[in-house]
Amino acid sequence: MDTLDKLKEEMEKDVSLPLRSANLVFGEGSAKADVLFIGEAPGANEDQQGRPFVGRAGKLLDTLIEEIGWKRETVYITNIVKRRPPQNRDPLPKEIEAYKPYLERQIEIIDPKIIVPLGRFAMAYFIDDGKISRDHGNIFYWRDRLVMPVYHPAAILRRRSLMDDMKEAFHKLPKLVKEHSSLLNKKKTLQGEE
């Protein structure tokens, strides 16, 4: 049986992974988290500290989590690509593909009720034709899991006018955790009727 520690150790040894000149930023939080937050890739602060979302965007994410009565330690936070691309560029498709098996196993181990992709790149991993400005705060289904994409916290720092929308989406999370089973059952029932 996989554990997060074993998976991290395996990633550290995997010389086939791209971006190996940067530090591995595996993720952190509860291995039994109901909610999994996923960004696109680490930035400079994350690369230095080896932890996800520790810069200004991370501080905002912490605040949003705390405003709904949770603590950072009770959720899990990671990225699709686990090492920083040079000059903070967007991850390349081949880099996303290389890290994909590890993210998939991370999701299996944590087994979250809800996945919250942070920003358009993370959302695209789960929703092919997604558009963050349209789909922010909406519920989607991905492999019998609930997915609720939200703006990336860095986007909120650039456009403060989006803050109310962001807070509104975060305030949905506790209710979604409680209603998780009934929402999935409702989806299965609807699929059975098709």
Give the CATH number of the domain where residue 164 resides.
3.40.470.10
- CA dist., res. 139 & res. 179, Å (int): 12
Residue 13 maps to a domain: no
Alpha helices in 35-162 (DSSP H): 44-49, 56-67, 93-110, 120-126, 132-135, 153-158
Residue 99 maps to a domain: yes
Sheet holding 28-29, edge to edge: 28-29, 76-79, 35-39, 114-117, 145-147, 140-142
Residue 19 maps to a domain: no
Residue 43 maps to a domain: yes
Q: Enter the pTM of the model.
A: 0.94
| Parent domain of 68 | 4-8+24-193
Residue 74 maps to a domain: yes
Are residues 24 and 11 in contact, defined by beta-carbon separation less than 8 angstroms? yes
Crossing angle of helices 163-193 and 56-67, in 10° steps, is 70
- CA dist., res. 155 & res. 100, Å (int): 24
Residue from 50, 119, 128, 130 nearest 83 by CA: 50
Tens-digit pLDDT string for the chain (194 aa) = 579 999 999 999 999 999 999 999 999 999 999 999 999 999 999 999 999 999 999 999 999 999 999 999 999 999 999 999 999 899 999 999 999 999 999 999 999 999 999 999 999 999 999 999 999 999 999 988 999 999 999 999 999 999 999 999 999 999 999 988 787 777 666 666 54
Number of domains in the chain: 1
Are residues 151 and 162 in contact, defined by beta-carbon separation less than 8 angstroms? yes
Residue 68 maps to a domain: yes
The SS3 assignment for 19 reads: coil
Residue 188 maps to a domain: yes
